[in-house]
Amino acid sequence: MKSVSSSLTSSSNAIEHRCDVLIIGSGAAGLSLALKLADHCQVIVLSKSDRNEGSTRYAQGGIAAVFDEQDSIEAHVRDTLKAGGDLCEEKAVRFTAEKAKEALSWLIEYGVPFDTETTESGEERFHLTREGGHSHRRILHAADATGEALQITLNDAVSVHPNIHIFERYNAIDLIPSKTQKGHCTGAYVWNRQQEHVEVIRAPFIALATGGGSKVYQYTSNPDVSSGDGIAMAWRAGCRVANMEFNQFHPTCLYHPQARNFLITEALRGEGANLCHADGTRFMKKFDERGDLAPRDVVARAIDYEMKRLGQDCMYLDISHKPADFIVKHFPNIYRKCRSLGIDITREPIPVVPAAHYSCGGVMTDFNAKTDLENVYAIGEVAYTGLHGANRMASNSLLECIVFARSAAEHILQRLNTVTYEEPIPPWDESQVSDSDEEVIIQHNWHELRLFMWDYVGIVRTDKRLERAMRRIKLLEQEIHEYYAHFKVSNNLLELRNLVTVAELIVRCAMQRKESRGLHFNLDHPNQIEDAKPTVLKPKGSKNECTVGSLTT
């Protein structure tokens, strides 16, 4: 086993790090992969902010797996396929459901504090809750802050492992294609945010675990780091992407000027909360026979429709009919947050609005999480595995992270001694660029992109809206490319460059789907077509020579 090394290349003043596996992203997917690998090799984990600031930390609901004897893997598969709008890859769904209990047992061994309860016979067991789309209680959770509990547990384990090296406040810029082995990458260019210079990390294996790209929308439940970096980097390196038109809007984000990005978990509805108007009138039954337990896409569209129909800023979620001690015990985080804003959820309803939440599409992978590039993997929200189809079912996301991280680790370990790269890596050239003197351009483009994506490519779409969005994307791409070519990189510039790529991929996928299915709803094509397929985009040219914006299917 080699050790991580760092060196200064005298000819270019470039810093180069070496490891066995480079993991870009420090959420549930990245840290799980690191822990599964680290007993056998040296791992670098790249974190764009501090290691806690990712989507995992903010996941409230839980992780789905069959622990109840009354439940079954077949039921989990069936529910997922139905929620996915008949566009899931059934083999991927079954693969994930079958490995779910083993994956969660691994987390339990690490000490993730899932809630338990005592039965009438005195036996202690895990408390299982139910969320939209699930036919049984199968959600393991840690109160209403499962993601935070998971992140803390994984961080604690990673911190004490001598073979895992966390590089915090580093942006990945691009994968570095091999000059001698087609379809391979030798490492990545990364930007050290603290020192403000570009470095190289050389690794025979690379895993993208960067999360989704919901920051492309004006309103999102996700943290600031969710800027689609891994999707854009993989696309530029020659990987196919799929189903980018399916962006999940969480139906219930807290509506309050002082509560940016705060989610109200679906588990509230699982425990009996009702969606209603300001006067308490319930409305979900007129949209779906499952009522308040309908899948997220149905609920988000219903809330959006009622808000627009009535000219209201929000709808309401009411669980106040439940006992107060029950609410406080099961949803302490939400209770405290709302209470701090003057909302007592034991006595009054919670104001809610939909917000961009989860990217169901991403970089195409196989069941080993391997992409089209021979030594590059993608895990978690950045990836398209076929699990989610046209709509992600609640609490399948963290599950996907753990299951595919474990699968990727097994595949990498089998190949660990078969891949080496000693070829020279071109140094990062900043000789022709300067410090920006017009940062306002980035800020303006940033706001313009997120606003028209929200207005034109949001919960409800039309052909004309998509065409308008694409015209604006093309103009922004030209401006951003020119800016990127002339000025030194910065966090905002790197994220904007990636987000405009993600925006184009979303719009191109949406323009190709001439139907309404799952999370993609187009007023010009309101019906479903028969024998629908995933939308797959392939970069033009060879795997290592593609042009962003030139797509074929």
Q: Which residues are catalytic?
A: 296
C-beta atoms surrounding 261 within 10 Å: 14
As given in the structure block, the two tokens for residue 358 are 């989860």
Closest to 402 (Cα-Cα) out of 160, 162, 101:
101
Buried b (16+ CB within 10 A) or exposed e, 272-309: ebbbbeeeeeebbeebbeebbbbbbbbbbbbbbebeee
Query: 525: which residues sit within 8 A by CB, 6+ positions away?
Result: 463, 513, 514, 515, 516
Instruction: Provide the phi-psi class of 43: left if phi over 0, else alpha when psi is between -120 and 50, else beta.
Output: beta
At 465, list the tokens: 């809206």
Q: Report the Cα 229 to chain-centroid distance in Å.
A: 11
In angstroms, what CA-CA distances link 153 with 31, 78, 125, 320, 553?
Answer: 10, 31, 20, 32, 42
Local structure of residue 529 (DSSP, 8 states): P
Mapped onto helix, strand or coil, the DSSP state of residue 538 is: strand
Residue type present at position 337: K
Per-residue DSSP letters for 50-72?
-TT-SHHHH--S-EE---STT--
First to last CA, the chain: 42
Which stretches within 417-512 are classed as H helix?
439-456, 463-486, 491-512
DSSP β-bridge partners for residue 173: none
Residue 421, phi then psi, degrees to nearest 5? -135, 120
Q: Locate 95 and state its tokens.
A: 């693969």
Beta-bridged to residue 359, according to DSSP, are 247
Angle CA(46)–CA(51)–CA(54) in degrees, nearest 5?
100
Distance (Å, rounded) from C-alpha 462 to C-alpha 106? 45
Task: Please state at what angle helix 146-159 crosses helix 397-415, rounded to 10 degrees.
Answer: 20
CA separation for the pair 408, 402 (Å, rounded): 10
